[in-house]
């Protein structure tokens, strides 16, 4: 594990963070600041994006994506970032989210452009492995990405999520972890064997409820500490730039630590650049790829700017930071400071719902990439499902503290492989965006021709432009 920690110190010190931020700046500039231009249209887009009731709706895909993003990253990851990087980590988490919005836009659009239809004829699968393979014609890079996702999401992340869920109940119940883990395996199994349609349906019910309830509870905490809000914001900004290293009694945090943990947990919470949630966005049955790109940006905003900030504010206002607690215990103690013993149950239930939807999504991400590697072999996929369920059970009873380091390592690999594809294929994202904006001048809801090959469409468009220029 020392080797893993050492590699993470290199990757996440500045390397991966720099790559992600560079990619975010690149997409922001190339697409003309889409996170600003389209921000006010994100909700309306979600209402009008879907073609019909067949397959997976834009709302269902978004809920599934958000459900995968607001698990341990929102409750455990934020607490870990604060405990390891100090209050300043939250500022860099925000920066990651703002620059992550155009990245997610690009990922979702590419996932739509290069997706393939499933055997049922109404649903789709896709993601980085598919757009790298079909868009770049690079089978090796696509394979490396798939392996990283299967190892990361299918193994490490599943164990982290189940461990965090079961751990959150350790302070509120005496039920053995094995029993809780078994219940979790059963609830995950009945959904994941039903395919993407069932997953999106479940997420459509759970995610809006849990996000709304969690935000309301966090707002109660903020209102009861309203006099300290400005001091908290000042502390976050000062700590991010090392202006006040000893502010609030929190000692020893450096700018590098704030940056490293802020970006790492920001990525873990919203997935921008890592390349997993594009698999969810690929499944959406929408009018135009840009519709799902806009949905992807909304997902990043909700998970990091809203949900993760709620967790961070509650921890900072509670005075529990620096108490020696970390992870889910720090989050629970923070809510308990405002709600008493009920706070432990609030976080436990939130962790269960958040973690449950994340587990469903993590298994689906692994499944999509297993289908890519093994040519949609159903038997292999079923073996993977059973294996992943066993890992969920194992994670519920075995300590996985050091698994966070492995999660960061596999996250770094996914970023490396995916970002290469994002840079190389950005021309197709811009092509789709221009098509959307051109059609919007004549019709309220632009429609993309999914039956046509996007590579050929792009070549024809370029050939026409070159002809006109001559």
Q: On the CB side of 412, how many CA atoms lie within 13 Å of its CA?
A: 22
pTM for the whole thing? 0.85
Each residue's pLDDT tens digit, 59-70: 777 777 777 666
pLDDT at residue 246 is higher than 50: no
Arithmetic mean of pLDDT, 400-407: 70
Residue matched to tokens 């965090």: 164
Q: Can you read off the two tokens belonging to residue 91?
A: 């500022």
pLDDT band at 251 (very low <50, low <70, confident <90, very high): very low
**CA proximity to 366, closest of 349, 380, 348:** 380
* Percent of the chain clearing pLDDT 90 (strictly above): 19
CATH, range 2-463: 1.20.1740
Burial 409-431 (b: 16+ CB within 10 A, else e): bbbbbbbbbbbbbbeebbebbbb
Task: State the Cα–Cα distance between residues 207 and 34, nearest whole angstrom.
Answer: 25
Q: Can you read off the two tokens belonging to residue 215?
A: 């935000």
Task: State the Cα–Cα distance between residues 356 and 188, nearest whole angstrom.
Answer: 7
Task: State the Cα–Cα distance between residues 400 and 291, nearest whole angstrom.
Answer: 39
Kindly report which listed range (36-45, 94-103, 400-409, 452-461) carries the lowest average pLDDT score. Answer: 400-409
Arithmetic mean of pLDDT, 323-337: 77
pLDDT score recorded for residue 10: 77
Can you spell out the DSSP letters for 248-276?
GG--S--HHHHHHHHHHHHHHHH-TTTSS
Q: Can you read off the two tokens belonging to residue 145?
A: 């990405």
pLDDT band at 128 (very low <50, low <70, confident <90, very high): very high
pLDDT band at 229 (very low <50, low <70, confident <90, very high): confident
pLDDT score recorded for residue 249: 43
Arithmetic mean of pLDDT, 160-164: 80
Q: Can you read off the two tokens belonging to residue 45?
A: 């887009």
pLDDT score recorded for residue 16: 79
pLDDT at residue 41 is higher than 70: yes
Summary mean pLDDT of the chain: 82
pLDDT at residue 127 is higher than 60: yes
**CA proximity to 386, closest of 149, 125, 152, 185:** 185
Q: Between 48 and 324, where is the model more confident?
A: 48
pLDDT score recorded for residue 426: 95
Q: Between 130 and 76, where is the model more confident?
A: 130
Each residue's pLDDT tens digit, 51-60: 766 667 777 7
Task: State the Cα–Cα distance between residues 464 and 431, nearest whole angstrom.
Answer: 14
pLDDT score recorded for residue 252: 47
Kindly report which listed range (49-58, 111-120, 315-324) carries the lowest average pLDDT score. Answer: 49-58
Q: By the 8 A CB rule, do 64 and 203 touch?
A: yes
**CA proximity to 278, closest of 263, 299, 262, 264:** 299
pLDDT band at 267 (very low <50, low <70, confident <90, very high): low
Q: Can you read off the two tokens belonging to residue 298?
A: 């909304």
């Amino acid at each position: 594990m020392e080797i893993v920690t050492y590699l993470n110190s290199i990757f996440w010190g500045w390397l991966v963070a720099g790559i992600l931020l560079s990619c975010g700046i690149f997409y922001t500039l190339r697409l003309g600041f889409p996170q600003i231009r389209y921000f006010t249209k994100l909700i309306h887009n979600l209402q009008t994006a879907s073609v019909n009731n067949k397959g997976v709706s834009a709302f269902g895909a978004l809920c599934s994506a958000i459900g995968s993003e607001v698990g341990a990253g929102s409750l455990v990851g934020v607490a870990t970032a604060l405990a390891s990087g100090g209050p300043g980590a939250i500022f860099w988490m925000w920066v990651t989210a703002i620059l992550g919005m155009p990245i997610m836009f690009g990922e979702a659009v590419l996932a739509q452009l290069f997706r393939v239809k499933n055997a049922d004829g109404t649903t789709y699968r896709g993601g980085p492995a598919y757009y790298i393979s079909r868009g770049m014609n690079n089978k090796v890079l696509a394979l490396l990405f798939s392996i990283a996702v299967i190892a990361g999401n299918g193994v490490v992340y599943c164990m982290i999520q189940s461990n965090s869920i079961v751990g959150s109940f350790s302070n509120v119940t005496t039920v053995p972890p094995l029993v809780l883990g078994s219940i979790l395996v059963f609830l995950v199994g009945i959904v994941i064997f039903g395919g993407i349609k069932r997953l999106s349906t479940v997420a459509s019910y759970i995610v809006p409820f849990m996000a709304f309830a969690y935000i309301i509870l966090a707002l109660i905490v903020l209102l009861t500490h309203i006099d300290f809000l400005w001091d908290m914001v000042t502390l976050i900004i000062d700590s991010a730039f090392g202006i006040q290293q000893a502010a609030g009694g929190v000692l020893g945090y450096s700018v590098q630590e704030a940056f490293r943990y802020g970006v790492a947990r920001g990525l873990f919470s919203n997935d921008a650049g890592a390349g997993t949630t594009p698999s969810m966005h690929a499944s959406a049955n929408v009018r135009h790829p840009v519709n799902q790109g806009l949905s992807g940006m909304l997902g990043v905003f909700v998970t990091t700017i809203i949900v993760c900030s709620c967790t961070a504010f509650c921890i900072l206002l509670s005075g529990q930071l620096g108490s020696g607690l970390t992870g889910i215990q720090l989050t629970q103690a923070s809510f308990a400071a405002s709600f008493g013993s009920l706070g432990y149950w609030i976080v436990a239930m939130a962790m269960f719902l958040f973690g449950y939807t994340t587990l469903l999504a993590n298994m689906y991400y692994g499944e999509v990439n297993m289908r890519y590697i093994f040519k949609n072999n159903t038997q292999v996929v079923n073996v993977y499902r059973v294996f992943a369920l066993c890992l969920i059970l194992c994670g519920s009873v075995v300590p996985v503290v050091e698994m966070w380091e492995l999660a960061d390592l596999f996250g770094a690999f996914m970023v490396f492989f995916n970002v290469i594809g994002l840079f190389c294929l950005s021309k197709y994202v811009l092509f789709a965006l221009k098509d959307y904006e051109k059609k919007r001048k004549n019709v309220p809801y632009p429609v993309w021709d999914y039956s046509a090959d996007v590579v050929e469409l792009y070549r024809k468009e370029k050939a026409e432009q070159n002809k006109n220029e001559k």
